[in-house]
Structure 1
């Protein structure tokens, strides 16, 4: 696993040397954009529209547009100097309960591994967090951006989750069309609750798969081998208009599926009495 960041975790006066590893990976199927006529991959070139010439990487600088068409130029050395001070430390600011952080704040996950001579302090922090049930709220510099992060226990290790700052999460009040005062029928509510209870199960991540990605890879393989491609028929939509009818139909469907998945009980053979011999 490739190390993507080295530094330390600090809380109070304690410093633990660590390494970060990407905990997730993008499984999207990447496609190239081709010229329709000759199927040649298209090149994307950086061209200055004013000078009308291609620009090399060394000719690029960073600029902030403070007014339309007006920029403040920020040199690489200036940006590096701002990031340098905190670039190698995961600074735990507070310890909090995980349930206090809404999932909307979570962004990306990284496994935390101990660096040289950091094994004991690493396990000490993990054990203390397990015993208290707390997570660490921290700050970290990743790719020239200061991130808010949660450090928590994951199985037998520590994991760091970058989380959005509050001003990066848009206000739900700005979503148009959310109803406020709608009177609900209690019978419909009870039926909806019953349906949720019937569909409730333990979380087993292994049983969830990306059906679209699987179908896309099958399509690609068929095209490579020249096999005939079969497109499945669309499933007709059921025209259920009444909400109560839809809820009840869903409950009935769930009951049927549950019965089908339950193991059948074996029929016991009848016990025959032996005839007395005299």
Structure 2
């Protein structure tokens, strides 16, 4: 098997210690099922063309340029030469600036992961020194790297025999959680409910094992493609069954603690039976019960009239 192609080549620098390294993307989407746009009549693949939004004319490659929208529908052109002037010169060096505690890195800032390995035997000792020194400290190196003509902050830490670097987002790329959480209320929840939820959490305690992850949608796509290729009808995926009735929160917690035994409908019926008020007697029966005393009184009155006559 041929070695993977390096995404980036350069040097890792810690103060005066330097070693040549290579970067490889640690994630891939190659295995995902992908579709192409085709012509339904001919079955041929379609290609995209750039169209002028106002005139509808096809724009050729040499006519294309980059523009920045200064106001609605108004653009200023930014020439390639002007972009080249502001692009950061790639010095192909990962400069380590500082080391920070691992738990201080906000997960929202984590972006793309890369494997960092030594580039050949030259500098192997320096690479090992930097790696092993970092293993003895519960800290992550923060460095600067230029990728695709843009400077990124990259967090580097040991991983096995190598290093893993994760590019970080800048503050302007991370949204403020207060914009989304400010309207969330804090209702009063009984301690019993919280204790039940804690027991459920304990019953589902596990360890991180990505081998158990299953992409159900990807599997369904593959089955769909396989059935289409073989000419067999595609089987519809089973839809999630949702309970018809609303179940109380306490009953849901208790049922979950039991392992979900019994249907949600049964739990809902039990909950509604507990909470429902006593049902009044039907209207006909109530009317009949009121009519009986009246009939008896009328019968006694007619009997007295016959005696008097």
SS of the residue corresponding to residue 112 of structure 2 reads strand
Task: Note the C-alpha offset of 1:86.
Answer: 4.0
Work out the CA distance in 2 between the residues paired with 1:162 and 1:119: 24
Q: Indicate the residue corresponding to 2:148 in structure 1.
A: 143
CA deviations on 1:204-244 (whole Å, 9 max, x unpaired) are 11111212101210111111011243324434223452112
| Greater per-residue strand proportion | 1
C-alpha contact 1:240 1:246 (8 A) present in aligned 2: no
Work out the CA distance in 2 between the residues paired with 1:51 and 1:103: 46
Name which of structure 1's ranges 63-72 and 125-134 shifts more when overlaid on structure 2.
63-72
Work out the CA distance in 1 between the residues paired with 2:18 and 2:60: 42
| Structure-2 change in CA distance of 1:53 and 1:99 (3 Å) | same
- What are the ranges of 5 or more consecutive residues in structure 1 without an aligned counterpart? 257-278
| Structure-2 change in CA distance of 1:46 and 1:174 (3 Å) | same
Q: Indicate the residue corresponding to 1:212 in structure 2.
A: 217
Q: Indicate the residue corresponding to 1:15 in structure 2.
A: 18
CA deviations on 1:23-47 (whole Å, 9 max, x unpaired) are 1001331111223344332221013
Task: Note the C-alpha offset of 1:72.
Answer: 4.2
Measured on the aligned residues, the alpha-carbon RMSD in Å equals: 2.4
Work out the CA distance in 2 between the residues paired with 1:135 and 1:17: 20
Alignment pair present for 1:61 and 2:65: yes
Task: Note the C-alpha offset of 1:138.
Answer: 1.7
Name which of structure 1's ranges 238-247 and 94-103 shifts more when overlaid on structure 2.
238-247
Equivalent residue runs for 1:162-201 within 5 Å: 162-175=167-180, 178-201=183-206
- What are the ranges of 5 or more consecutive residues in structure 2 without an aligned counterpart? 263-309
Alignment pair present for 1:126 and 2:131: yes
Alignment pair present for 1:3 and 2:9: no
Alignment pair present for 1:249 and 2:252: no
Alignment pair present for 1:222 and 2:227: yes
Q: Indicate the residue corresponding to 2:116 in structure 1.
A: 112
**TM-score normalised by the chain length of structure 2:** 0.75
Name which of structure 1's ranges 3-12 and 120-129 shifts more when overlaid on structure 2.
3-12
Work out the CA distance in 1 between the residues paired with 2:158 and 2:246: 46
Alignment pair present for 1:25 and 2:31: no
Work out the CA distance in 2 between the residues paired with 1:233 and 1:69: 47
C-alpha contact 1:139 1:149 (8 A) present in aligned 2: yes
Q: Select 1:98's aligned residue among 102, 109, 124.
A: 102
Q: Indicate the residue corresponding to 1:267 in structure 2.
A: none
For the pair shown, the structure with the greater C-alpha radius of gyration is 2
Work out the CA distance in 1 between the residues paired with 2:27 and 2:114: 7
C-alpha contact 1:149 1:160 (8 A) present in aligned 2: yes
Task: Note the C-alpha offset of 1:173.
Answer: 1.2
SS of the residue corresponding to residue 234 of structure 1 reads coil
| Structure-2 change in CA distance of 1:166 and 1:227 (3 Å) | same
Work out the CA distance in 2 between the residues paired with 1:33 and 1:218: 20
SS of the residue corresponding to residue 208 of structure 2 reads coil
C-alpha contact 2:131 2:163 (8 A) present in aligned 1: yes
C-alpha contact 1:135 1:150 (8 A) present in aligned 2: yes
Aligned residue-pair number: 256
